[in-house]
Structure 1
């Protein structure tokens, strides 16, 4: 998973980020798989092609994190990103999450359109809950009420 994520971040988008900058990826069960949180992957013939995570931040709120899809599996026709998000949303609702927040970088323009198409609204950083796990590279933020 780390290779997939770092390749997209660094090689495709030129973001100066390392594995050490993302300690959540060194212990996925402890960071994501507690409370209402979880971590999902998409595979194609046994090959990892996508990831998405939900981090429980308390009070019926969660953070959408680590949504990455390899270039060969992006786009509406492939449906990988939509399937990952649909899974996360269904599970979040079933687990009682009422609000989902996310942070991304200004460089992920296709991701901005994808989140907006799926109902996420742009929010100012000061609107984020105190427990939102903000990354240094995050510069654009979204929120969605689901419950």
Structure 2
């Protein structure tokens, strides 16, 4: 029996589930000192993410939000990949949740002729680093980020994907 993971564009009724998923992973699973107040974008997802070349998606299993990914339009046909989180039990090849989310974002970017996707992450997310590298992202120095890239204070490692 295969599990069906559905990727949908974010809608307001996913707000609480998205917030809970992200905070649980950040705080409880990885012990990162970041609060919901440090992430005001999570309270205005439509305005912050869903404009220009940006968007925000959720991964659903039987109606439950089990993953998120977003792209922020930073101008010059470039986007920042943000808020890629997958609930622990839905990680790995059995579910393919992260791959489905990333492929959705990459397809969206290709359709809009995006030239580069940039992201920041924390050193603790080792599996995420391997995932990004396996999917064509290359680690870069912070000085190589586009001028308009929104650096988050906890991010210490940076990656780029070029088309």
Tell me how far apart the structure 1 counterparts of residues 38 and 144 of structure 2 sit (CA, whole Å).
24
1:90-129 → structure 2 map (5 Å cutoff): 90-129=107-146
Tell me how far apart the structure 2 counterparts of residues 19 and 133 of structure 1 sit (CA, whole Å).
17
User: Displacement of 1:33 after TM fit?
Assistant: 0.4
Compute the RMSD of aligned alpha carbons. Answer: 0.5
Is the 8 Å Cα contact of residues 36 and 96 (structure 1) preserved in structure 2? no
Tell me how far apart the structure 2 counterparts of residues 23 and 97 of structure 1 sit (CA, whole Å).
26
User: Displacement of 1:119 after TM fit?
Assistant: 0.5
Tell me how far apart the structure 1 counterparts of residues 51 and 61 of structure 2 sit (CA, whole Å).
27
SS in 1 for 2:99: helix
Q: TM-score, normalised by structure 1?
A: 0.98
Tell me how far apart the structure 2 counterparts of residues 108 and 74 of structure 1 sit (CA, whole Å).
13
1:1-147 → structure 2 map (5 Å cutoff): 1-146=18-163
Moved over 3 A (4+): none
Q: Deviations over 1:68-108 (max 9, x none)?
A: 00001000121000000000000111012110000000000
Is the 8 Å Cα contact of residues 41 and 48 (structure 1) preserved in structure 2? yes
Tell me how far apart the structure 2 counterparts of residues 139 and 76 of structure 1 sit (CA, whole Å).
27
Which 5+ residue runs of structure 2 have no aligned equivalent? 1-17
Which 5+ residue runs of structure 1 have no aligned equivalent? none
